[in-house]
């Protein structure tokens, strides 16, 4: 009998053989979670702890004063903070929906359709993943100006709605979908949209969840449009409002207000990742359709 026979590679319950993984992973997990703990801790520190030297990592006397000061100062602005918040929510929802729809439909075409120029488009998309956002700021600005979208709400969405990484990820997932399933669906009378949403969509849900998270993070914290394309304050995002509001405040509560606003901007990202993290893990561990 083989020495491996009867042994499980990954037992459901704790086994002494798993101890080595805990020894390696726990220190890494602690290191990665420390910035999050510090962010929460700093947001609830009173002024004397914020300006204490040497600074303390954990809050000793937690307080809500930083958040109270933030909302009191927000209430005194010409454009209410609720307007900026509504803008950001609308921008984020539209960006996520459009990004996922574009990545899914384009990924399907590039994966399962044959046409002239397909290879060139794939190479262009791969090349686009190499550029950091700051490198395309000037081309984006020129494009927005030439399209006449300055001081238009759509300029919050258009520059970030396409995601080369999202297209690449979903296309790789669709590549592993058997062509026989698509042909069977068409024989049953399914249209191209029917194939896309009834066959492809259920099979690439992990990739779609990952793209949605990346798109959410890109849209929620985006300030580029508010800085470069918009002059009308009522069209700007909550991220821009919080950023400029915190940096412009030079009072003794500036650090506390900045810490509270940073936590408010971070929480939605944390919540959406916790809710959808299982799908993200499926994406990372995806090994093909069996």
pLDDT tens-place string over residues 204-256: 888 888 899 889 988 998 888 989 999 888 899 888 888 776 666 555 557 77
Has residue 168 been placed in a domain? yes
More confident residue, 98 or 198: 98
> What is the extent of the structural domain holding 158?
79-229+264-285
Has residue 188 been placed in a domain? yes
More confident residue, 285 or 269: 269
The pLDDT value recorded for residue 18 is 74
Summarize pLDDT for 122-169 with one digit per residue, the tens. 999 988 888 887 888 888 899 999 999 999 999 999 988 988 988 998
Has residue 36 been placed in a domain? no
CATH number, domain containing residue 217:
1.10.3720.10
Nearest to 260 by CA among 29, 33, 2, 63: 63
Has residue 223 been placed in a domain? yes
Has residue 59 been placed in a domain? no
Confidence of residue 8 (pLDDT cuts 50, 70, 90): low
pLDDT at residue 284 greater than cutoff 70: no
Domains contained in the chain, number: 1
Summarize pLDDT for 44-70 with one digit per residue, the tens. 988 888 878 787 888 888 888 888 887
Has residue 177 been placed in a domain? yes
Predicted TM-score (pTM) of this structure: 0.80
Nearest to 173 by CA among 126, 207, 198, 124: 207
13-17, 50-54, 70-74, 267-271: which is most confident: 267-271
Confidence of residue 26 (pLDDT cuts 50, 70, 90): confident
Confidence of residue 90 (pLDDT cuts 50, 70, 90): very high
Confidence of residue 109 (pLDDT cuts 50, 70, 90): very high
In order of 37, 39, 50, 142, 272, the CA distances from 34 in angstroms are: 5, 9, 18, 41, 19
pLDDT at residue 1 greater than cutoff 60: no
Has residue 160 been placed in a domain? yes
For every residue of the chain, DSSP letters joined together read: --TTTT--SS-SS--GGGHHHHHHHHHHHHHHHHHHHHHHHHHT--HHHHT-SSPPSS-SS--SHHHHHHHHHHTTSSS-HHHHHHHHHHHHHHHHHHHHHHHHHHHHHHHH---TTHHHHHHHHHHHTTS-GGGGHHHHHHHHHHTT-TT-GGGGTGGGS--HHHHHHHHHHHHTS-HHHHHHHHHTT--HHHHIIIIIHHHTHHHHHHHHHHHHHHHHT--HHHHHT---GGGS-HHHHHHHHHHH--STTHHHHHHHHHHHHHHHHHHHHHHHHHHHHHHHH-----
Q: What is the mean pLDDT of residues 20-48?
A: 86
pLDDT at residue 5 greater than cutoff 60: no
Confidence of residue 278 (pLDDT cuts 50, 70, 90): low
pLDDT at residue 288 greater than cutoff 90: no
The pLDDT value recorded for residue 88 is 92
The pLDDT value recorded for residue 10 is 58
């Amino acid at each position: 009998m083989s020495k491996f026979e009867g042994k499980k590679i990954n037992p459901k319950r704790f086994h002494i053989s798993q101890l080595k993984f805990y020894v390696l992973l726990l220190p890494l997990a602690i290191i990665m979670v420390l910035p999050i703990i510090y962010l929460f801790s700093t947001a609830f520190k009173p002024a004397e702890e914020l300006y204490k030297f040497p600074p303390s990592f954990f809050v000793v006397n937690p307080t809500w004063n930083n958040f109270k000061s933030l909302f009191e100062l927000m209430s005194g602005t010409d454009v209410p903070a609720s307007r900026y918040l509504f803008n950001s929510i609308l921008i984020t929802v539209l960006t996520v929906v459009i990004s996922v729809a574009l990545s899914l439909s384009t990924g399907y075409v590039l994966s399962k359709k044959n046409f002239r120029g397909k290879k060139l488009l794939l190479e262009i998309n791969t090349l686009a993943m190499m550029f950091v956002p700051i490198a395309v700021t000037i081309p984006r600005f020129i494009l927005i100006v030439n399209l006449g979208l300055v001081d238009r709400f759509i300029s919050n969405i258009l520059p970030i709605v396409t995601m080369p990484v999202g297209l690449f990820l979903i296309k790789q997932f669709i590549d592993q979908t058997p062509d026989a399933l698509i042909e069977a669906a068409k024989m049953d009378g399914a249209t191209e949209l029917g194939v896309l949403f009834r066959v492809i969509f259920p099979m690439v849900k992990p990739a779609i969840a990952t793209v949605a998270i990346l798109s959410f993070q890109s849209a929620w914290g985006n300030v580029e449009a508010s800085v470069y394309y918009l002059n009308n304050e009522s069209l700007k995002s909550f991220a821009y409002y919080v950023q400029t509001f915190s940096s412009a405040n030079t009072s003794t509560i500036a650090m506390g207000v900045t810490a509270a606003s940073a936590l408010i901007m971070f929480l939605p990202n944390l919540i959406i990742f916790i809710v959808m993290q299982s799908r993200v893990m499926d994406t990372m561990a995806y090994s093909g359709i069996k």
